[in-house]
Structure formats: structure tokens, C-alpha cells
Amino acid sequence: MSRTYTLQDLQSLSLSALHTLRGTLHRELALAAPHSQPAREIFASLDAVNRIIRQRTTGPRMG
């Protein structure tokens, strides 16, 4: 993986692009050595992607 994605990097991406990026990161994580620096960077990026997706996904509304 060439970079770690931050929340600021992801703000401009569409929800579809975020889901695509999440899939790519999961594939990269599967190829990374366990407990390696690249694996930690991928986990950090996945965390950021998942946070943005949760923010944009509307839940059930009351009322």
C-alpha cells in the first residue's frame, strides 16, 4: 500500500467510491504480513473509511 488514508482525504469521495476503496483495502490486508507495518497502515485506513461510511449512511429515523 502506498499511503494511509485520513478522514480529510476521504471527505470528497462518493459513498460508492468509499465502498470500492474499502474492498480494495480488505484485499490488500489479506496480502499483508500479519502484525506488519503495512498491515497497521491498512487497518488505520480501513478505520477512517468505515467512519466516513457510517457518517454518510442514514439510519432509521424516529417520527
Q: Phi, psi at residue 4, to the nearest 5°? A: -105, 125
* Segment 9-13 mean pLDDT: 94
Task: Give residue 60's pLDDT.
Answer: 72
> Cell triple for residue 30?
489479506
How is the chain split into domains, by residue range?
7-56
Cα–Cα distance, 14 to 10 (Å, whole number): 9
pTM of the model: 0.84
Nearest to 32 by CA among 19, 49, 45, 20: 45
Q: How confident is the model at residue 63 (pLDDT cuts 50, 70, 90)?
A: low
Rounded Cα gap, residues 28 and 51, in angstroms: 19
Instruction: Write down how long the chain is.
Output: 63
**Joined grid coordinates for residue 40:** 497497521
> Where does the pLDDT of residue 7 fall: very low under 50, low under 70, confident under 90, or very high at 90 and above?
very high
Q: Is the pLDDT of residue 58 over 80?
A: no
